[in-house]
Amino acid sequence: MKKASLIKLGVNIDHVATLRQARGTCYPGIVQAANVCEAAGAHSITVHLREDRRHIQDEDVYNLKKSLKIKLNLEMAIHPAIVDIALDVVPDEVCLVPEKRQELTTEGGLDVVKHFKQLEKICARLENKGIEVSLFIAPDAAQIKAAAWLGVPYIEMHTGTFCDETGTKADRELDRLVRGAILASEIGLRVNAGHGINMNNIGSVLSVPCLDTLNIGHSIVSRALFIGLDGAVREMLTAMSRYKAGFRR
């Protein structure tokens, strides 16, 4: 293994669309927001096309694919209609996530063990289109090994449980992330992470080894209210530049 030269930032701009959808207007523009993130140094743009279309709309995904010079990462449930859209758009990457209509945000990791056969078929269809597939999972050994058996190149470890905890519970969750990242790297998976990461906890997240990309959205869009979107992206990139624990095959 060799030391990674850089940990990358994927900016999730779902909540730019949340603000737009609150009034049903044509602004703020999703492509415009993505362009600002790109100019500020983001390495990829993430959007989650949910079944209920609560923020990102189909048209947004198509427009981003046409306009972006950096990678487009599409978060999506394993729902046939959404899979068909992904196969039509052909984003650079997809991240398969669990999804419930009632949740405010994604609440946990995908159960790869339970849905293995279904995921096997979906992953094959996406990969046949040249789309890189990632699985959003808890830092659990069984789930990580199942992801490797599927042959996907990436996992994205769910950091939300760690970010929501404090004290010894947070310490235990951080240890799970560390052990999960090491295991995934050892068995040939690239490791992304995301959910709940902000300027208050980024230092702890950066203690996790083997990380390729952090996907961060809500905290960056929230911070943008005070220092602008360009400033919020640059601020996070500056914090991430301290990463020294990343190792990659």
**CATH, residue 145:** 3.20.20.70
Could you count the other beta carbons within 10 Å of the beta carbon of residue 12? Answer: 24
Two tokens, residue 130: 């040249």
For residue 21, CA distances in Å to 3, 29, 62 come to: 43, 11, 18
Q: Which residue has the tokens 């999703």?
A: 30
Domain assignment present for 249:
no
For residue 111, pLDDT over 60 is answered with: yes
The one catalytic residue among 15, 43, 48, 55: 48
The one catalytic residue among 93, 173, 195, 235: 195
Say whether 75 is catalytic.
Answer: yes
- The identity of residue 126, as a single letter, is L
Q: What is the spatial distance between Cα 226 and Cα 205, in angstroms, rounded to a whole number?
A: 24
Say whether 132 is catalytic.
Answer: no
The one catalytic residue among 38, 75, 93, 156: 75
Q: What is the spatial distance between Cα 116 and Cα 95, in angstroms, rounded to a whole number?
A: 15
For residue 108, pLDDT over 90 is answered with: no
Give 144-199 pLDDT, tens digit per residue: 999 999 999 999 999 999 999 999 999 999 999 999 999 999 999 999 999 999 99
Give 100's pLDDT tier (boundaries 50, 70, 90). low
Q: Give the total number of structural domains in the chain.
A: 1
Give 124-149 pLDDT, tens digit per residue: 999 999 999 999 999 999 999 999 99
Domain assignment present for 65:
yes
Domain assignment present for 1:
no
Domain residues for the domain of 188 are 8-241
Q: For residue 30, give the DSSP letter.
A: H
Q: What is the spatial distance between Cα 208 and Cα 44, in angstroms, rounded to a whole number?
A: 21
For residue 3, pLDDT over 80 is answered with: no
Q: What is the spatial distance between Cα 134 and Cα 187, in angstroms, rounded to a whole number?
A: 15
pLDDT at 210: 95
Give 247's pLDDT tier (boundaries 50, 70, 90). very low
Domain assignment present for 2:
no
For residue 1, pLDDT over 80 is answered with: no
Give 6's pLDDT tier (boundaries 50, 70, 90). confident
Domain assignment present for 211:
yes
Give 13-27 pLDDT, tens digit per residue: 999 999 999 999 999
Q: For residue 76, give the DSSP letter.
A: E
Evaluate whether 217 touches 11 at the Cβ level (below 8 Å). Answer: yes
Domain assignment present for 247:
no
Domain assignment present for 69:
yes
Average pLDDT of the residues in 25-46: 98
pTM score above 0.85: yes
